Amino acid sequence: MTLNYCTHPTPLGELLLVTRNSALVNVGLPGQQIEPPHSATAGAQDTGEQGTGTHDTGEHLGAITQQLDEYFSVQRTTFDMNIDLSETTDFRRAVLEHLVTIPYGETCTYTQVAEAVGRPRAVRAVGSACATNPVPIVIPCHRVLRSDGSLGGYAGGLDMKRALLELEQ
């Protein structure tokens, strides 16, 4: 399995973008401890397969970086790209698939997401699914708030979550 990756500058810092077979696998946020997929086992922890990482100069990831640029310049409100969620559990996949239905500029609560995926008591599990979202920004976990309206958490930090929400207003 070959993973392609590149770093991409944004107004909030540099993102690490990782694809496999033209599908986005991971978005590493600024400040996260994510290594570029350069080792022979990168991205293969769950499957046992061997893989390699290839730095991409932008051609392979061009459509993804273009959409991110459009998002950050407030010219795009949704993303249109293949996303590979094959390494997530069924529950986390259901949560992540629901998150893409939250409209640009709107928010909902962890409780509302739990109810929407048919697991109303799984509020903490929804929070965990958001916290481990492999493709933040593209799958907008930043749009999910605590029931009291406070921000909750975010892998990129609360300042980044606040900035993303302000960008969408």
Instruction: Give the CA count within 13 Å in the CB-facing half-sphere of 157.
Output: 10
- Measure the CA–CA gap between 50 and 68, rounded to whole angstroms: 30
87: helix, coil or strand?
A: coil
Are the C-beta atoms of residues 80 and 23 closer than 8 Å to each other? no
Cβ–Cβ contacts within 10 Å for residue 34, how many? 15
108 labelled catalytic:
no
Are the C-beta atoms of residues 23 and 84 closer than 8 Å to each other? yes
Mention every residue, 6+ apart, whose C-beta is less than 8 A from residue 39: 53
Candidates 6, 108, 130, 141; catalytic one: 141
- Catalytic center residues: 141
